[in-house]
Structure 1
Amino acid sequence: MRQDSPACLERYTPKGKIPNGVAVEIGQMFDVTPTTVRRIWRRGAVNLTGQKTICLGVHQRKKGNCGRKRLHDDLPQRIQTIPQSRRYCFRTIAHLLKIPTSTLHCYFKRGVITKYSTVLKSALTDSNKVCRLKCVIKHVQDVDGTKFFDPMLDTVHVDEMVLHDAIAEEGLWCPG
């Protein structure tokens, strides 16, 4: 409505002034009062070289400037002071910052802090590559001159990360 009503008014107003009845008509079209239409027109109309021309700044001024003001403006800097080894869950961060966990969660939902995963795969060295190749060659079978991989249905694989699953799932919390 805010972008459309000035465009409609511009069609009706060749001299930059709203004629009688046009604000009422456009207000009915967008289901708002004529006063709202006139207010948007006054904000959007700019006097350039004697004639009124539509400016694009008719958006709401309330967005981002309303509501309760936040108490913890320095939260990202305070989180940076906490060692990374202690930044693995909301409860410890909230305890160290001396703020409620729910407040910290609100800041997370607003995007002030974000979650980062720290699981990094190390690059394979040449000795690791040779070891992996030897392991794979053990599972190759020769049947009548044709090579087949062992289906390995009797083999159990255990991932090392299963042992450290709790820490890997949580990750680290850092300023966003």
Structure 2
Amino acid sequence: MYFLTKTLSRPVVQVAKAAKQIEEGNYEISLPPEKPQREVNDLVQSFQTMADRLEHLEKLRTELLAGVTHELKTSVTSISGLLRAVKDGVVSNKEADSFVETALEETERLQTMVTDLLELNSFSAKGVPLEVDTHSFYEVVSDPIIISIGSTEQKERFIS
């Protein structure tokens, strides 16, 4: 009985330790190879798969954050430089207008990025928002069917 209990509890204890590591942000865990008990083996393999996926998602999140940060910083630096040049009188009339126009374009780009980030956050929190629209079945499928039928006479017979 003692041997059986030890055999079953050891992998469960190892999975619990691995869960603690993941909780602390360490996704690189190593669990024991296959166990003879199917249920215990399934638990260990499922947990290993989950840890691998979490590690992959964490890497993707880090890359996304780095990319977004770079894009935001680049736009803000560009806008700041353009406006400072106009304010300090480094550029004059038409060139100043061009600088302001470029700064406005960069501002619009920033607004688009922020909107996209908000939509991404909404998507990840709630799933894909769906817009339901009503369409006639004939409206949706008539053109492809008519095109595939062939002659005008066949089309007219099909429609009527």
Does the TM-score normalized on the shorter chain lie above 0.5? no
Tell me which structure has the larger Cα radius of gyration.
1
Structure with the bigger percentage of helix: 2
TM-score by length of 1: 0.24
Structure with the bigger percentage of strand: 1
